A and B are shown apart, each in its own frame.
Chain A
């Protein structure tokens, strides 16, 4: 996982719980030294362990913390890279540009970005099915980022996740229904 994700988690914890809480989490934990640089890669497990520590501190359920974090993550990434959101003028175009535009740009910045693959289906004008494939199985992150993007574009969506790699499938299907 790239350090920028850790930086955003730190940002969120400091914003909601204060700098002291983040320091305590780092002091209690952990395998690392708590120094995260945006372009560097760190083990995914370190992020999961930090998120667990946040849950323990805030006494909030994991789903809530992860959901909030990923939405916050989208807003932070959008602030850092506004150019990616300039051209797609609506949520659907943005989601469809992930593989062809955003991932291409990410590859320019990082040597081994370990990016997921997306394929798309549009069975109906109001539905976009995103087929997610990644050995890291971070579909929860993908789902949260879609929610973050929907918030950014002020678009109401309903997301279902009927096929999941965590249930033995070879890919995750994320059905995004665009609500009027």
Chain B
């Protein structure tokens, strides 16, 4: 080693080089750590999302079981109440005929005066003329009420999927088009309907039920845009990787996260009292779940909502 070289300077240079190398190693580790952290964060977010979807599905499955039980329990007494109502209607007609005959006979001399007086007194005391008039109205209202109960029970059964379904090979696009035709007068002049419909492969499903889902979703989309400027509903269909996607998008009022979490819950509605049963989306959910499909919802308050139905293409029945 030459005497001119300062050993401290040499050592300093060596130390600096070592430090630089250590810093580089640290940077490499930091970079890897950062990427791993990012992956972990993404996985965690995905896990939370899946957990929330799973909870939602479990909740709806529990509600389905509960709904099926309630529907079954109410359906049995409802069946005989409805049947009794029919008999009661017939009995009432007989009673009314008898009353009318009495009233006619009271005007004649064919019945002894004492009997006439007793009958007239009874009719008057029991207010039978009014009863006869009122009973028809009461029976009609009761019948209407029972029909509503029956509809609600049917909806609950649709949500819980306890019914047998008629599955046939179907062109869903044709079904969607016929539903839109049905809604033509409802939509015309109220919304700008934009269609981007691509051919779909035939699939085995229950067309009536799926048409009901389309109907519910399109009506909801139209109603959501009632106060929107340039109300628009965009409907599209496509098929990718053996999955059918039908998307119904509106630029309406949108939904808050809280509302979004509950839309498939039976009887949940944001519509004013008497305007909605709160069963439309629950039934839609049940139907799509029964077809092994999914309904994906994206919504932002004040911006609009997208419902996407995802259905597997089924070419053979599972039975």
Give me the interface of A with B, judged by CB distance under 8 Å.
4, 19, 38-39, 80, 105, 107-109
Contacts and interface: CB of A to CB of B under 8 A. Distances in A.
Contact of B9 (A19, A39, A108): A19
A109 B31 contact: yes
A108 B28 CA distance: 10
Nearest to B6: A19
B27 interface: yes
Contacts of B30: 39, 108-109
Contacts of A38: 23
A140 to B, nearest CB: 26
Interface string B28-48: 001100110000000000000
Interface of B: 9, 12, 20, 23-24, 26-27, 30-31, 34-35
A93 B278 CA distance: 57
Contacts of B9: 19
Given A19-B9, A19-B12, A109 B23 contact: no
A80 B35 contact: no
Nearest to B38: A108
A4 B9 CA distance: 21
Nearest to A108: B34
A106 to B, nearest CB: 10
B10 to A, nearest CB: 12
Contacts of B23: 4, 38-39
Contacts of B34: 107-109
Given A19-B12, A108-B35, 6 more contacts: A4-B23, A39-B27, A80-B20, A105-B31, A109-B30, A109-B31
Q: Is the interface of A mostly helix, strand, loop or mixed?
A: helix
Contacts of A105: 31
Nearest to A11: B16
A107 B23 CA distance: 16
B26 A39 contact: yes
A4 B24 CA distance: 12
Q: Lowest 5 CB-CB distances: which A-B pairs, in order?
A: A108-B34, A38-B23, A108-B31, A109-B30, A109-B27
A110 B36 CA distance: 15
Most B Cβ at <10 Å: residue of A4, A19, A80, A109: A109
A162 B238 CA distance: 54
A68 B9 CA distance: 24
A19 B20 CA distance: 18
A109 B27 CA distance: 6
12 contacts: A19-B9, A19-B12, A38-B23, A39-B23, A39-B30, A105-B31, A107-B34, A108-B30, A108-B31, A108-B34, A109-B27, A109-B30
A11 B183 CA distance: 78
A38 B30 CA distance: 13
Most B Cβ at <10 Å: residue of A19, A39, A108: A108
A58 to B, nearest CB: 21
A107 B31 CA distance: 9
Contacts of A80: 20, 24
Nearest to B34: A108
Nearest to A3: B23
B18 to A, nearest CB: 13
Nearest to B28: A109
Contacts of A108: 30-31, 34-35
A122 B23 CA distance: 37
A129 B216 CA distance: 54
A112 B295 CA distance: 42
B11 to A, nearest CB: 12
A80 B17 CA distance: 12
A19 B10 CA distance: 12
Nearest to A79: B20
